[in-house]
Amino acid sequence: MTFARTYRFLDLVMVLFVTVLLTSNIASSAKIVDWGVSLPAWLGGLPLAFDAGTLLFPISYIFGDVLTEVYGYQRSRRVIWVGFGAAALLSATLWLVSRMPGEALWQQSVGQGAYDAILGGVSSGGIIVASLLAYFAGEFSNSYTLARLKVLTHGRWLWLRTIGSTLIGEGVDSLLFVAIACLAGVFPWAIALTLVVTNYLFKVGIEVLFTPLTYQIVSLLKRLENEDYYDINTNFNPFHLEAQAG
């Protein structure tokens, strides 16, 4: 794959994006958080419990917005695939480790049960499928929506693009992840609606809260990179990996 030009900060943004993705995947499997907060009674009184990865995962969508807004959909697509491969490698590695025999003293002090309880979710078939499919569909929905909105709005109203794309991308991600994870027995169906609603509200809320910071990062990168890409003639097929020349 040949690029017509190089960028000073694209690799840095990609590394941060992948780091957030992998960290949130581990945290999602490790713990369900409940701060004892619920929706108001007139909204059903649903308890707002969430998987711990939700604390960090929305940041990956902010990085995704920055990538698409500054560098364009096709370069963002490349980064999304890098993240997909890294997540698959993480899951495969943890699965392989879980199948290896444990040393005797380790078994006494820690034990296979503790490993399976904390990291087994990341390496189990159900959570791998749920995480990768939700990530794939959500990130590409987010990037596609932002890129199309940028052209339609002629580059105006960045807040509309970042929040609007997150509403769609995070919705797709949350529904797919929880549904597949529950089907695979990773999460109980009894908390499925709680997880979907809480994850969605929290993720969108983070995007809205970080909008001023997103503006600053996008403005800075556009100036430093001398780039503000518009996806006018872009091939949006997620499996078409050739990058734009501009």
Do the domain assignments include residue 235? no
State in Å, rounded, how far the first CA of the chain is from the last one.
14
Candidates 119, 139, 132, 122; CA nearest to 203 is 139
Do the domain assignments include residue 83? yes
| Alpha-carbon distance values, 67 to 15, 17, 57, 75 (Å) | 12, 10, 16, 7
Do the domain assignments include residue 240? no
> Which structure tokens are listed for 121?
């979710």
Predicted confidence at residue 194, as pLDDT, reads: 83
Q: Which tens digit of pLDDT belongs to each residue from 15-71?
A: 998 998 888 878 877 777 777 777 777 766 777 777 777 778 788 888 889 999 999
Residue 244 reports pLDDT greater than 60: no
Do the domain assignments include residue 109? no
Do the domain assignments include residue 104? no
Do the domain assignments include residue 49? no
Global confidence as pTM: 0.83
The structure tokens 């987010």 sit at: 142
Q: Which tens digit of pLDDT belongs to each residue from 57-112?
A: 788 888 889 999 999 999 999 999 998 899 888 888 888 888 899 889 989 888 88
**Whole-number Å distance between alpha carbons of 130 and 173:** 9
Q: Which tens digit of pLDDT belongs to each residue from 113-167?
A: 888 877 776 656 666 778 788 889 999 999 999 999 999 999 999 999 999 999 9
Q: What number of CA atoms fall less than 13 Å from residue 205's CA on the CB side?
A: 9
CA angle 145, 22, 107 (to 5 degrees): 155
DSSP state of 47: B
**Whole-number Å distance between alpha carbons of 195 and 217:** 30
Do the domain assignments include residue 46? no
Predicted confidence at residue 87, as pLDDT, reads: 86
- Encoded amino acid at 232, one letter: I
**Whole-number Å distance between alpha carbons of 223 and 226:** 5
Do the domain assignments include residue 210? yes
Give the dihedral of Cα atoms 185, 197, 170, 133; nearest 10 deg.
10
Q: Which tens digit of pLDDT belongs to each residue from 192-221?
A: 888 888 878 888 888 889 999 999 999 999
Q: Please give the tally of structural domains in the chain.
A: 1
Q: Are 192 and 178 in contact (CB under 8 A)?
A: yes
Q: H helices then E strands: how many in the chain?
A: 9, 2
Predicted confidence at residue 2, as pLDDT, reads: 46
Length of the chain: 246
Domain of 206, in residue numbers: 10-15+61-99+114-225
Residue 174 reports pLDDT greater than 70: yes
Residue 246 reports pLDDT greater than 60: no
> Which structure tokens are listed for 88?
């698959």
